[in-house]
Structure 1
Amino acid sequence: MSKETDFAIGKNLIDYINLLRLLGARVSLAEMLDVFQAFEYVNFSDRNSVKAALKCSLIKRQEDLALFEQTFQTFFASPEQKKEWQVQKRQEDSEVQQQLTQAESDLTFQGESLNLTQKEKLSYVNLDNLAQERLQDFLKKSSEGTHMEKDFKPMIENLVRGQLAYWQNKGEIPQPFEVPATGDQEVDYLLNQVQKGLKEEQSRLLRKDIQNISEADSPEAERLLHHLSRKLATRISRRYQQSSKRSVIDLRRSIRKNIGLGGAMVKLHYKSKKVTKPQLVLLCDVSGSMSKYTKFILQFSLGLSMAISSMETFLFAERLEKTTPWFQKGVSFEEIMTMLGEGRQVWGQGTDLNQSLQKLEDEHRFLLKKNTIVIIVSDTKSLATAKAAEKLQSVQKRVKQILWLNTLPQRTWDKHPSVAAFQPFCRMFECNTIMDLERIIGRQLLED
């Protein structure tokens, strides 16, 4: 190769590595040198060979695999593809600008736009229509309230910010991807395109039936699940750290409720009494038909257990086995999966929910209290369905509630008599995707 070709390859390589670093991948100087050495043996006309050399030399963490794939696809795309992406980006930027303009028009107090950041305006844009209408109605009534002067505008802005933050924490507003701006137009365009691709890929995995997730996609799916479970655990912990003293005035609610009275504190509102943190009991079906789901449920449970100490876990098939010690601090997910594999033959391939619930009542009755939430993850396919339903009813009478996460598609429930047998004694939800799992558990444990 000529010196000009060597220089071009070296420059492209450095630009590619800088792109990876900007997006969070850890690439050391030694790993950069490894790539240059590997390239001495690579046929540059073979795209797969180039990709393999980069991947082996630069990527050392499993969580960076998806990032590498998307970055490689974007950086080494054809000129025609890049040109098409640029046209799409300009169209998207124009649409976002129109949405921001509309948000400024909607979010006003007495004819003046609220002083909100672009991120806060985008949060408003991403709300559903009903939530937007409620916020607009609040601003309209505030603007028309008796003795409401323009001096109240900063207070109104803070209330709106608080409401947007509340919806963000509840998951009602999609979390935007933060794209680091460099000031270099070409680099910023590549960063944006990579982030867009990652978002689309994550959205696909979140909505895909867990049993259909391929081995190639499993590492990224597990990383997403771990991230979601830790995030949810943090939200749950904060939920149960509220003050238990009713004597503390809730200033925000008091101001909001008295806006129509000119802001005078005529009616005071107090912070609600602290909600008792529930005891969680997770029963996970590990029979043959549930094997693919089990791996992801346990990954999710591991993340939750980091912040929720009052959680007991059990696996069941033909019998029940307590597995809470698996989730003790310091036990890795790989170790948990090893223990699961070692017990596979013991648990068997069938499901006997009746025997499992009987053992739960006989040996772990102290867990079944009025503040206990039992979560069952199963496709409802069990031996002795009628007896199992009776035992489920018995457990239901002892606990706060039973949540059943059914991996069968809801459209097929009427074809399974076991679903009809168990439904009267629990709250049953379709749950066969990562998004289903995070949404159902989050809403049920965070609801007032």
Structure 2
Amino acid sequence: MEQTLLGFINTLRQHDVRISTSETLDALQTADVIGYSNQQLLRDALAASLTKTRDEKALFHQCFDLYFLAKGERHSEQQQTKTESPHPSKFELPDAVAGDAAVQNALSAPMVQAALEGNNDAVAMAIEEAAEGISLDNVRFNTQKGIFRRRLAEAAGTGQFDRAIDALKAIDSEELAGPIEWLEQQRYVLDMAARDAVEHQLLLNANAAGRAIQQQMLRNTRLSALEHYHLKQLPTLIRALAKKLATRHRQRRRVDRRGKLDMSKTLRRNLAYGGVPFHTYWKQKRKDQPKLVVLCDVSGSVSTYARFLLLFLYSLTDVMPRIRSFVFTSETYEVTDLFERHPPEQAVELVNQKWGRGSSDYGNSFKQFVSEYSAQIDRNTTLIILGDGRANSADPGLDQLRELYQRSKYLLWFNPEPRASWNTGDSEIKRYQSACHFVAECNSMAKLERLLDRLLTVLH
């Protein structure tokens, strides 16, 4: 049963329930104390050990019912089907062939013997053992049902019934029609149990697998190609990606804060202990807090990209330095206070409603930004500009961009257009590249995630 519980915990993880190793050990110990006979008590005890939030508890109960309760109902249905079956319910072998060595050898197989002895639990036990052997928990898609059903049935012992049936058929006697039919019935029961087990496992895994495939699709598809329905799903995905990045860089920052071991100071201070380093001392290099400034084009062509860049950045507040946010079309506006007063998703919507759409004027926007805010850009500032670099045949503001390049520590340009479209038509991105430290294509969640991962590595 311990393996069964570990399989259930793996199913919970596939459904995005966070379970640590220590919580797994707690659950195993809890199940050992509670036992498996009272499923309601087991469910409540495991829920207390493995869940931390209301959403996780709801997922837990859903998975528990599918994993344990439905399994018990399925076995009850199998027993009822066997009881109500019109096929022969008793195996009677004629005396003339009872001593046949080939027949006796075939009938001595474990599954056949269990059926002959009326062991009602043998099928369930064989299916569970075989499921572990063929890694049934890997079934994810409806197209896999056939191959997993065949593998499971063979591993559980349908081949044993086949050999017994073939041994009786080889004798070619009408008296054996009843025993052969009885054995075929038992084989059918085992095959149906394998089918139900595969469908049951698929029901457990399909939602998690489908969600993972959809998230992978959302991450790699250009935002401009997604339908409105899919765009509404992105905030949830952004929070998950931001949490992953935050966890990674929070651990890295904790190590960096400790500094490097100061060997000379450690040895001097431990001379009284014969050089045994009871006390360690670390070199800590003081770093100025980095500053991050984001300047986003919110004109009609790139407003969707700006929306999700801002949402992603403000979901990383645990590890990201304080952000100052600006948006522009033909003029530049600071929107930092909106994100301080409202949740990120609401603030993004307000920005889009008030300043989104319109036609971009890079030259005028850069001039205004330099005039009003350039004094606050210094060698500790990273400036991110999001835009397609299409100046609409007007002044591109290249001189102002060069001034920002000289003032800042890093000037990064994220362009949502594919590289094949750069420098075509009224695009000025080639000229802008000369005044940037780094220019990258950024038109999907996967690319945005990689860019922000690299940015956090540089900032910390």
TM-score under structure 1 length normalisation: 0.52
343 and 246 in structure 1: CA distance in 2 versus 1, 3 angstrom threshold: closer
Asked if 1:304 corresponds to 2:316, the answer is yes
Cα distance in 1 for residues equivalent to 2:317 and 2:15: 32
8 Å CA contact 2:223, 2:305 repeated in 1: yes
- Give the aligned partner of residue 434 of structure 1: 445
Please, which of 297, 301, 304 is the counterpart of residue 292 of structure 1?
304
Please, which of 328, 332, 352 is the counterpart of residue 361 of structure 2?
352
8 Å CA contact 1:305, 1:327 repeated in 2: no
- Give the aligned partner of residue 216 of structure 1: 229
Cα distance in 2 for residues equivalent to 1:89 and 1:204: 31
Cα distance in 2 for residues equivalent to 1:323 and 1:395: 19
- Give the aligned partner of residue 207 of structure 1: 220
Q: How does 1:409-448 map to 2 (within 5 A)?
A: 409-416=418-425, 417-426=427-436, 427-447=438-458
- Give the aligned partner of residue 390 of structure 1: 399
Please, which of 219, 224, 238 is the counterpart of residue 225 of structure 1?
238
Cα distance in 2 for residues equivalent to 1:374 and 1:21: 35
SS of equivalent to 2:443: coil
8 Å CA contact 2:290, 2:321 repeated in 1: no
Please, which of 334, 339, 362 is the counterpart of residue 350 of structure 2?
339
SS of equivalent to 1:321: strand
Please, which of 70, 86, 95 is the counterpart of residue 148 of structure 2?
86
- Give the aligned partner of residue 317 of structure 1: 329
- Give the aligned partner of residue 261 of structure 2: 248
SS of equivalent to 1:432: coil
SS of equivalent to 2:316: helix
SS of equivalent to 1:318: coil
8 Å CA contact 1:237, 1:308 repeated in 2: no
User: Number of residues paired by the alignment?
Assistant: 276
Please, which of 332, 338, 353 is the counterpart of residue 326 of structure 1?
338
Which string of whole-angstrom CA distances, capped at 9 and with x for unpartnered residues, describes residues 73-120 of structure 1? xx9xxx974624737999xxxxxxxxxxxxxxxxxxxxxxxxxxxxxx
Structure 1's unaligned 5+ residue stretches are 1-18, 25-59, 91-183, 251-269
Q: How does 1:152-167 map to 2 (within 5 A)?
A: none
Asked if 1:368 corresponds to 2:377, the answer is yes
Larger Rg: 2
How far off its partner does 1:294 sit?
Answer: 2.7
Alpha-carbon RMSD across the aligned residues, in angstroms, is: 4.4
372 and 226 in structure 1: CA distance in 2 versus 1, 3 angstrom threshold: same
| Amino acid across the alignment from 1:397 | Q
How far off its partner does 1:289 sit?
Answer: 0.8
SS of equivalent to 2:315: helix
- Give the aligned partner of residue 411 of structure 2: 402
Cα distance in 1 for residues equivalent to 2:248 and 2:338: 23
8 Å CA contact 2:335, 2:351 repeated in 1: no
Cα distance in 2 for residues equivalent to 1:389 and 1:359: 13
How far off its partner does 1:199 sit?
Answer: 1.7
How far off its partner does 1:243 sit?
Answer: 4.8
How far off its partner does 1:279 sit?
Answer: 0.7
8 Å CA contact 1:385, 1:421 repeated in 2: no
How far off its partner does 1:305 sit?
Answer: 3.4
8 Å CA contact 1:314, 1:323 repeated in 2: yes
| Amino acid across the alignment from 1:193 | A
275 and 185 in structure 1: CA distance in 2 versus 1, 3 angstrom threshold: farther
8 Å CA contact 1:242, 1:274 repeated in 2: no
Q: How does 1:151-190 map to 2 (within 5 A)?
A: 187-190=200-203
